[in-house]
Amino acid sequence: MSNGAQDKGLIFVVSAPSGTGKSTICRRLLAACPDLEFSVSHTSRMPRPGEVDGKDYHFISRADFDLRIARGEFVEWVENYGNLYGTSAQAIDGVLERGKDLLLDIEPRGARAIKERYPDAVFVFVLPPSLDELLKRLEKRGHESSDVIQTRFAQAERELREVLWYDYAVFNEDLETAIRQTVAVYWAEKSKISRLRGKMDRFFKFSQEG
């Protein structure tokens, strides 16, 4: 049952450079917060081993992606390493109208586009303990060439400069602490009076009727 605009869900955006532990933090956040759903992005790249269409990404062709861009279906989209990634505006609005909250795992360029369209969204940036530690984590992956690692590291340095416009910063020095901090941010935002207007109105109306 719809309770009005004030009862729409919350958009919770988490950004971080590759190798920061963002994916693990997001998985644990989803497990701890039952009202939070994961926003499944569209991509033109091929699925990796173990990835499931509709769960990890909506895997579509490059031509289909370009057509959706032309139609204005994406609230944000970017090209990384020759592949396109985008977030469907219709999918976001559908979840919010159901009163559910939505977790978006996207990079800063996409996050800026989300902020322009959904100014009430919450933005969290996950940082590594240091740049040296980030480079070590990228190197430990072991399945990428040194050139690819350096490219990712250079991109990470650029992305880290975006942190100053985010609402919250979480340093992943200790994974469990970083997870608890991210979960705490989510629940604190859920408790803001500005997000509870509809519930407050119903509460006082019920109190007066009783």
Nearest alpha carbon to residue 23 among 63, 50, 61 = 50
pTM above 0.75, yes or no: yes
In this structure, the chain runs to a length of 210
Helical (H) or strand (E) element with 192: none
* Cα 23 from Cα 45, distance rounded (Å): 18
Element (H, E) at 43: strand 42-43
pLDDT in tens, 124-133: 999 998 888 8
- The average pLDDT across 59-71 equals 97
Q: Which domains does the chain have, with CATH numbers?
A: 5-39+99-209 (3.40.50.300)
What confidence tens digit (pLDDT) does each residue in 147-189 have? 888 887 888 888 898 999 999 999 999 999 999 999 999 999 9
pLDDT at 117: 94
* Among 195, 171, 25, 43, CA closest to 105: 25
